Every structure is written in C-alpha cells, then in structure tokens.
Amino acid sequence: MWEVIHAFGWDPSSVQHRAGVWEIVDGDQKFALKESHAPREKLYVLHRMLEQVRTAGYPHLLPWVPTEDGEIVVSAYGSQWYATPWQEPADEYVSATELAASLGRFHRLAEPIAAQFPKLHQVIDPDLKETWQQRSTQIANWQETLEEGEAKISEQSAQLSQNGFTFAIQGIDRYLQSEKGIAPRYTICHGRIHPSNVLTSEEGLYWIDFDHAELDTPIKDLATLIHRYPEESPAEILAAYEQENKLLPKEKRLLSVFLSYPERLVRAVERQEDLVDVSREYAHIQDCQKLIKKLWPVKKKKTRQKRNR
C-alpha cells in the first residue's frame, strides 16, 4: 500500500478503506485509490478512451490522478492501482430514467472513439446459447421446489420465465447465425451497470469502476440497467435512453433478446438467496415482456380469402 501511496507523492494524514476503495487524505485534498485486477495495458487504453469522452463534454466521469512520474497506473502487490479525486457520497436517489439519459449520452459520445479500435470489438460468445439453456433447466427445477413449499408460484408465473428463456435462446441463436455475433455498432460498454457503480455527490452523479469495460454493443448496458431497476418502467427507461441515443432496428431486436432472459431471477437463484421476492421478480419479467412486444411485434400471417365464383 505505501509503495503505491509514495508513487503518487502523497504524505497522507489518513488512510481508510471505504466502499471498496481507499480514502487518502493528503493535506486539504482527498483521493480515492482503487485496486484493479485488470491488465495494465487495458487500463491505459480505457483511460485514453474515457478522457476523450470527458473532453467531448461528458460530465459524469472522474479524471484519473497521475503519479509523480506522470503515470496513471501503479503496478504493485500483483495488482494495478489508479486514483481519482474523492467525491463525498450524498444520500440522494437517482432515478433509472436519469441514469438512462446519462448512459445514452455516454454511449453516443463513446461510439466514434470505439470505432478507432476495431480489433477490440467484442462478439457474442457462441457458448451463450448453451449457457442460457442450462439456466433455463436450473430455474425450472427451482420452480418445482417452490411448488412443494410455502412460496409456491402460479403456473402462469412459472410459464412467464420459461417463455422468456425460450424467446431469448431462439433469439440469440438467430443472432449468432445471421450476424455471426457482431453487434450493429460498438461503444464503450461499462459491463457492470449497478447502483453501487453510480456515485452521487454534491457535484452530481459519476459512473465509476470501469475495470470490466469492453468495446461492445450498448444494448448490454441498457438491458442491465433495466434489470437493475425493477421498480421503474422498462418502457420509460428505454424512452429516456433514446432521447440521447436512438436505437437501430437491429438493436431493438437484440434488446428484446437480452430483456427476455430473466437475468434477475437467475442471479437470485444462483446466489441461493434465502428470500427471493418472487412476486417482484415475476412482475419485472412481465413488464419486460410487455416492452418486448412493442420492440419486436409479431407479424400476423395474411390469409387469402377465397372468392366465391
């Protein structure tokens, strides 16, 4: 720790571990020191990209603090370390629609930057279909155990999740075959959209912890945002996002696929949470499926009317 602190030239009066980072008090300044297990080269590329987004006028990113040697990453103790100015967290709720608008603007500004690095563009893992099929079986078995206990769910609710899996698996299979897993367009995808990775302070809101970011489809971030805020309307979240970054037709279909996959339910079951709010999870699945019907409407087959002669 002290090797890293000295690299930044700090002479701290206080060092505390808070909310997953180290709070460093150096004179009248405070810094957040973050340990990362991402490769050093990746962090340097990410820093370069994020600085370009900040320069383009995006206010929701914290600058990285350079060391005394002008580096932005310190390698020590088998990890990488980087620092940002400390922002005192404020106890303020930020709605998902506000976050969606911010995320949409970020994705839009980052798109031309991502275009400069085509070799870093990610494609959908061909094994994703098989993974989702395994999760479908896992959830079906879990639902059967609920039917034997006090938390029994209705047959209609059980069918909701299975319909979601079916649509998601068929959709991702079709996407892999027709598009070879290549996204319609690429941007900086945060990869870990979650309330804990949004910092609200008196200065405003900031997205933090980009260690897992990739150049990928913006749909992955958007779908995750919708799943992470089940209390808010998926349609309203999407509308707020599209005010800043209009989705392409192919992206709307891809969003339908990722929203169909009952990600929240899978996470809860895999973590073996004792108290899964079944009613809330299935209500969210239903809300997502309502939006999917608008994004990917079913075409009605035309029937020929026989003429009487």
Q: What gap in Å lies between CA 292 and CA 307, rounded to an integer?
A: 37
**What's at 62, amino acid-wise?**
L
Give the mean pLDDT of 222-246. Answer: 97
Task: State which residues form the domain around 250.
Answer: 96-295
The region of weakest confidence among 41-55, 197-211, 215-229 is 197-211
pLDDT digits (tens, 9 = 90+) for 22-78: 999 999 999 999 999 999 999 999 999 999 999 999 999 999 999 999 999 999 999
Query: What pLDDT is recorded for position 272?
Result: 66
Whether 4 maps to a domain, the answer reads no
User: Binning pLDDT at 50, 70 and 90, where does residue 276 land?
Assistant: low
Q: How many structural domains are present in the chain?
A: 2
The region of weakest confidence among 172-181, 217-226, 268-277 is 268-277
Residues 168 and 117 in one domain: yes
Residues 136 and 72 in one domain: no
Q: What share of the chain is helix, strand, coil (3-state, %, to 5)?
A: 50, 15, 35
Q: What gap in Å lies between CA 63 and CA 211, rounded to an integer?
A: 14
pLDDT of 269 higher than 90: no
What is the full DSSP assignment across 106-154?
HHHHHHHHHTT-GGGB-B--TTHHHHHHHHHHHHHHHHHHHHTSTT---
Greatest Cα pair distance, the chain, in angstroms, is 97
Residues 103 and 123 in one domain: yes
Residue-averaged pLDDT of the chain: 90
pLDDT of 149 higher than 70: no
Stated as kind and residue range, the H or E segment containing 169 is helix 155-179
Whether 80 maps to a domain, the answer reads yes
Residues 64 and 120 in one domain: no
Residues 64 and 193 in one domain: no
Residues 62 and 100 in one domain: no
* pTM for this predicted structure: 0.91
Residues 100 and 224 in one domain: yes
CATH number assigned to the domain comprising residue 44: 3.30.200.20
Look at the alpha carbons of 294, 295, 298, 299 in this order and tell me if their dihedral is positive or negative. positive
Residues 109 and 73 in one domain: no
First-to-last C-alpha distance (Å) of the chain: 91
User: Of 85, 104, 139, which closes a domain?
Assistant: 85
